[in-house]
């Protein structure tokens, strides 16, 4: 296969830069505590300074993998498949989710929403970033909004983002892991004063699992 042919398959979503895949417990948000199979796709140019998976940023570091192989492996483990990154919407998610749905599994995505929404999703977790704001379509279709709280200015950003999502979207505030001891008391106070919000924790880190 030539480089051009390979790139054409990547552009169409038939090949994806697969960083890692693993069966674990969803640690965050609405589905926390639920067993799920995670597919981490490489490639992200949003550039969060506190990102805990910076090795996912460069897609060329991860093997371009056939979506059929990703699907065949994923459905062996769970009927809930979580696609994360990196930023999975960097790529066309249509072929991947079409094949997953054909297998009868639930498709979840964790995204910053900064790119065009592709694919068929049962659950969209939107975690917006200041550097590249979500598209209007993702705001309208998100099932949960998860805002990361690194400092006190992030509460204002969270409220701005909450005003843009649909009325049924569940609102979460989650402390950035390295700042959790400092920010958690502030998050607790904020949620008690603004009960439309809920607290999300990275429970998988407390459980010491992926």
Which H helix or E strand runs over 205? helix 203-207
User: Is 128 one of the annotated binding-site residues?
Assistant: yes
User: Is 79 one of the annotated binding-site residues?
Assistant: no
User: Is 141 one of the annotated binding-site residues?
Assistant: no
DSSP 8-state symbol, 45: -
User: Is 40 one of the annotated binding-site residues?
Assistant: yes
User: Is 51 one of the annotated binding-site residues?
Assistant: yes
User: Is 59 one of the annotated binding-site residues?
Assistant: no
User: Is 182 one of the annotated binding-site residues?
Assistant: no
Integer Cα distance of 29 and 53 in angstroms: 18
User: Is 210 one of the annotated binding-site residues?
Assistant: yes
35 closest CA partner among 27, 43, 26: 26
User: Is 17 one of the annotated binding-site residues?
Assistant: no
Q: Are strands 80-84 and 106-111 parallel, antiparallel or unpaired?
A: parallel
Q: CA 188: distance to chain centroid?
A: 24
User: Is 153 one of the annotated binding-site residues?
Assistant: no
Cβ pair 105, 133 in contact under 8 A: no
User: Is 86 one of the annotated binding-site residues?
Assistant: yes
Binding residues for [4Fe-4S] cluster: 44, 48, 51
The binding site comprises 25-27, 40, 44, 48, 50-52, 84, 86, 127-129, 210
Q: Which residues are annotated as a binding site for substrate?
A: 25-27, 40, 84, 210
The annotated binding site for S-adenosyl-L-methionine is made up of 50-52, 86, 127-129
């Amino acid at each position: 296969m030539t480089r051009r042919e390979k790139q054409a398959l990547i552009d169409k979503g038939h090949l994806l830069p697969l960083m890692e895949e693993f069966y674990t417990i969803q640690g965050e948000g609405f589905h926390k505590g639920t067993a799920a199979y995670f597919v981490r796709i490489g490639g992200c140019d949003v550039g969060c300074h506190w990102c805990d998976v910076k090795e996912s940023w460069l897609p060329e570091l991860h093997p371009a993998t056939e979506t059929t192989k990703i699907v065949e492996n994923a459905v062996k483990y769970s009927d809930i498949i979580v696609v994360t990154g990196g930023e999975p919407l960097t790529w066309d998610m249509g072929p991947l989710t079409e094949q997953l749905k054909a297998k009868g599994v639930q498709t979840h995505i964790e995204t910053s929403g900064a790119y065009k929404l592709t694919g068929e999703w049962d659950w969209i977790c939107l975690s917006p970033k200041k550097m590249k704001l979500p598209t209007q379509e993702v705001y309208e279709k998100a099932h949960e909004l998860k805002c990361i709280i690194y400092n006190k200015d992030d509460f204002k950003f969270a409220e701005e983002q909450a005003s843009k999502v649909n009325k049924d979207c569940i609102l979460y505030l989650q402390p950035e892991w390295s700042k959790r001891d400092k920010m958690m008391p502030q998050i607790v106070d904020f949620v008690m004063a603004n009960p439309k919000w809920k607290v999300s924790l990275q429970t998988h880190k407390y459980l010491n699992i992926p």
